[in-house]
Structure 1
Amino acid sequence: MKKYFLPLFILGSFCVNAQVTNDSIQIEDPFESDSIILDQAVVVGYGTVKKSDLTSAVSSANAKDITQIASTTAMQSLQGKLAGVNIINSDAPGTPPTVVIRGMGTALGGKAPLYVVDGLVVSNITNINPNDIEKIDVLKDAASSAIYGVRGANGVVVITTKRGKTAKLKVNYDSYFGVRNTMNMVDMANADQYITYFNEQQRANNEKSFLSENQRYNTDWFDEIMKTGQLISNNVSLSGAGENINYLFSLNNFEEKGILDGNNYKRTTVRNNNDYKLFDGKLKIKQNVSATFTREIPKSYGAFDTAFRQSPLVPVRYDDGKWGQPFWNKTTGEVTYLLNPGDGSGKLNSHGNPVAGAYYDNQKINATILQGSIDAVLNLTKGLDFTSRAGATKYWYKKRTFTPNKQTWLAADPTRTAAQFEIEKIKSTNVGVTTWADNSLAFNEIETFR
């Protein structure tokens, strides 16, 4: 009787030899034949692959790469460090960067990649403390991200958080302070230059009114609305390992003050990762729990456009405390809202006061995110494991917007009075509150043959 050996491959995890006879196939020694050894290195789908054996497009970063630069999120610190991954950071505090792995992305799915944290699919990673991350693997091609299906069409960012390793209790504390300033600022016209350009325009248009040479104000609008941004972070972690349990607990407090005055973001993150070994190591359980609390005061970045367009002759406030606006006296040529009897008036432009606009832009956003996942691996026999995974995310979001209509109405025109506001019956206060909660539960059951 002749024997034929037929290699059978199942999901690329292992191969076995089978003895083929005339009427039957007998599998020979399935767990001791040419098995593929999965070493530590790159996380791909539900498993890991030794980097030297990897043929698909994957970029990786370790904890040192992630924490080398002070940043709000882990992806911000990896800008320029991952081949084939385009990361565009935002200067707005608390705003996640734009990550593009595959060009412009899908037609309806946008260009954002899929984020997977310890096996749990999440919408973004702004709530994750960068100090808690052990490594990041970016799956860039169809081969590496195929296990995630259509959700991985724009690439997959797989994040593995830290866990307890050493037997002794290990306490880490780190703190940093950073500043952020603008570079390559646009040179804006000063008061004298503006007067020259404006009067040349008036002559070209055959106008009879001109600005006088001596003006009271020379406002640098960018200097008025901008400040030096700050980043402050304090992080403490405790980790250790015993015979049957590994543990990690971390607490991080992060604060970012933006370059636009009043634009602030605060985040507090608590994480607990535990590993348990039960029944002489036959059952292994991984538990991940994190809670994130954010407080954000956003500001409209339209203030930069207004500052770019507003005249330097307009003050932030007049001597009487009223907000400056681009009114000018066509008779005297002075930039002011005050007129003598018979004087003509006009406006230098149709733009408002950027400082007043930012001052009355009152928003507060509070969010709480709870995330948890649990993995259980049961060893059924030598080389055969049964894995079960479940996870959930709960999200609370509250946004408060306060618009002082009376103050904004008065700020738009210094000639207006509070009495006029009352007479015209336009007084109103708008308070908007948006609340919503999102609950998701993911359960994956995996049979792993190794």
Structure 2
Amino acid sequence: MKRNLNPPMKRALRLKNLFLTVCFLLIGTAAFSQERTITGVVTDSFKEPLIGVSIVVQGTNTGVVTGLDGDYSIQVPPNATLDFSYVGMEKQSIKVGNQSVINVQMKEGSQMLAETVVIGYGSAKKRDLTGSITNIKGDEIANKPVANPLSALQGKVAGVQIINSGKAGADPEIRVRGTNSINGYKPLYVVDGLFNDNINFLNPQDIESMEILKDPSSLAIFGVRGANGVIIITTKKAKEGQTRVNINGSFGFKAITNKIAMVDADGFKLLYNEQLKNEGNPEYNFSDWTGNTNWQDEIFQTGFITNNNISITGASDRHSFYLGAGYAYEQGNIKHEKYSKITLNISNDYKVTDNFKVGFQFNGARMLPADSKSVATALRAAPVAEVYNKEYGLYTSLPGFQKAQMNNPMVDVELKANTTKAENYRGSGNIYGQWDFLQHFQFKAMFSLDYASNSTRTYTPIIKVYDASAEDDIATLGTGKTGVTQAK
């Protein structure tokens, strides 16, 4: 049943509705009035202002960027969280709470650094570049049991061909853009800003990152020296935090697993006599040659490899240092081949004042290259000869059709082992001073050093072998005189 209200009751009802509406408006105004302004300054690890830092209210599209002095101002609702992000820095999320001023010091992030690639004297975001620039992290190089950093790149980079010879400590052959220059195919190496022709003196454990530049546009700033590609190496520096000591070591073994298949003595005799017969010559008399030798088995060995490193790092607001030392030892695939290297990496930076800092960087190495021998003789020597004559205690000569061209492979491997001694030193580094003045100006003076010293000494011994066709069955190889040669 519909009920009619009298005029006083209608007026009371209207007043009640008006009162409720006003209350809701006041509540909404109070809620709106709780938004407030947050201000602050964003700086880097050296407390220098950062320009263009993105500040966004989490979960919204509301955001601002810092100005020339690293300052910002943003309106935020209650219980808001601000996200601070900047290229090369770790993202930070800060809950506003009751704060009205929030100053933030951004920290460098090693993972974020991969987003920026240095090109000559400039930089670009990695996503804006083509695949012609490849970034390799230091961890991918350090975990390989190799003495030369380039050997660790084999099979990792598209368009870069790396061939390891297998000789102990030998530099691998690297072709970044194929054979495209009449002056050779070796790329240009840039180590901490210094041009180098080789990086065999670096310790893989001391490398922070490697960038391989293959595209002509990215190589333009290097001129003709970058025609064969450029490899930019950045060595490790100290990061702010507590002092750390890292010690690591590794060892392994290497062996030839796929030797070239050769015929045995019977097969060689058959094939050689067939060749002589086809040439119209009489067959060779092998009655005095009863050996059956696989010369590859005689010269090859299972090599031992070890890498040992120690590093000490530390940094504070004003001072940072890095010290790394390493020892690498490698045996070759051929007997008596051995290579060793001692490396040293030192960097030190000191902030004298807020606007002036000095520092230095040094990479050095002492290398003892292997006295390498050739495999070719072992592939060409006839398998019909014995390796060693026990009666005379001498290695044997090869049959007459070969001994004028080559010797018993073991003569080079055993009797001439360690007759060549080489000692190489390499040092590369710089010392600098940097002054920041006014606000956007910087003056930097740097003095660099690239030093190399190589010395080699070779001894020529008197070598005698067993030869049934010689007088007294003993033959002397070469001139029969000893000699010493030296080069620096």
Alignment TM class, shorter chain as reference: 0.7 to 0.9
The structure 1 residue matched to 2:262, chosen from 188, 191, 195, is: 188
Q: Which residue of 1 aligns with 2:358?
A: 285
**Range moving further from structure 2, 76-85 or 198-207:** 198-207
The structure 2 residue matched to 1:403, chosen from 460, 476, 484, is: 460
| Contact 1:140 1:155 survives alignment (8 Å) | yes
**Range moving further from structure 2, 224-233 or 85-94:** 85-94
Q: Secondary structure at the match of 1:150?
A: helix
Deviation per CA, 1:327-382: give whole Å up to 9, x if none: 4xxxxxxxxxxxxxxxxxx5466542011023343211101112221343321232
Structure with the larger RCO, 1 or 2 (CA within 8 Å, 6+ apart): 1
Match status 1:146 vs 2:220: yes
The structure 1 residue matched to 2:134, chosen from 35, 39, 59, is: 59
How far has the Cα of 1:291 moved from its partner? 2.3
| Contact 2:466 2:475 survives alignment (8 Å) | no
Alignment of 1:223-238 (within 5 A): 223-238=297-312
Alignment of 1:23-38 (within 5 A): none
Structure 2: gaps spanning 5 or more residues: 1-50, 52-66, 70-85, 89-112
**Range moving further from structure 2, 60-69 or 182-191:** 182-191
Give, as a single letter, the amino acid of the residue that structure 1 aligns with 2:241.
A
Alignment of 1:163-242 (within 5 A): 163-201=237-275, 205=280, 207=282, 210-212=285-287, 216-242=290-316
Deviation per CA, 1:222-255: give whole Å up to 9, x if none: 0111101221111111111112111111110001
Match status 1:392 vs 2:463: no
How far has the Cα of 1:201 moved from its partner? 4.5
The structure 1 residue matched to 2:386, chosen from 279, 304, 315, is: 315
**Matched residue count:** 375
How far has the Cα of 1:113 moved from its partner? 0.8
Distance 1:179 1:49 in 2: 42
Distance 1:259 1:359 in 2: 14
How far has the Cα of 1:48 moved from its partner? 3.6
| Contact 2:433 2:446 survives alignment (8 Å) | yes
Query: TM-score, normalised to structure 1's length?
Result: 0.76
Q: 1:395 to 1:268 in 2, by over 3 A?
A: same
CA RMSD of aligned residues (A): 2.9
Distance 1:413 1:388 in 2: 69
| Contact 2:467 2:475 survives alignment (8 Å) | no
Q: 1:82 to 1:202 in 2, by over 3 A?
A: closer
| Contact 2:147 2:307 survives alignment (8 Å) | no
How far has the Cα of 1:175 moved from its partner? 0.8
Q: 1:348 to 1:396 in 2, by over 3 A?
A: closer
Deviation per CA, 1:29-85: give whole Å up to 9, x if none: x979xxxx9754312223443312335831110011112321121111111212222
Structure 1: gaps spanning 5 or more residues: 1-13, 15-29, 328-345, 436-450
Q: Which has the larger radius of gyration?
A: 2
| Contact 1:237 1:250 survives alignment (8 Å) | yes
Q: Which residue of 2 aligns with 1:376?
A: 433
| Contact 1:31 1:383 survives alignment (8 Å) | no
Distance 2:87 2:221 in 1: 17
How far has the Cα of 1:206 moved from its partner? 5.8
The structure 2 residue matched to 1:325, chosen from 397, 403, 410, is: 397
Q: Which residue of 1 aligns with 2:347?
A: 273
Q: Which residue of 2 aligns with 1:296?
A: 369
Match status 1:256 vs 2:327: no
Q: 1:380 to 1:181 in 2, by over 3 A?
A: same
| Contact 1:202 1:210 survives alignment (8 Å) | no
Q: Which residue of 2 aligns with 1:122?
A: 196
Q: Secondary structure at the match of 1:308?
A: helix
The structure 2 residue matched to 1:355, chosen from 410, 425, 441, is: 410
Distance 2:383 2:250 in 1: 38
Give, as a single letter, the amino acid of the residue that structure 2 aligns with 1:217.
G
